[in-house]
Amino acid sequence: MPTFTIAVIPGDGVGIEVVAEGRRVLETLARRDKRLRFRFTTFGWGSAYYKTHGRMMPADGL
């Protein structure tokens, strides 16, 4: 089974705590079903980044 790579941007349109809980749900699923694998990459490109840099993400972000 493949590993699912998920980009995580805490607080981007929802509260930071909502994103953290969503990640916890996926991690719990993966512990219960060993066929599921997730790799999380967290990016700090939410509203705080915008306030500091004047844009939502770096120019080379994609």
Structural domain boundaries in the chain:
3-53
CA–CA gap between residue 37 and residue 49 (Å, rounded): 29
pLDDT tier for residue 42 given thresholds of 50, 70 and 90: very high
Q: Where are the alpha helices (DSSP H) in the chain?
A: 16-32, 47-53
CA–CA gap between residue 57 and residue 37 (Å, rounded): 27
Per-residue pLDDT, averaged over 37-41, amounts to 97
Q: CA-CA distances (angstroms) from residue 43 to 22, 40, 50, 58, 60? A: 15, 10, 13, 11, 13
Average pLDDT, the chain: 90
> How many C-alpha atoms does 10 have within 13 Å on its Cβ side?
10
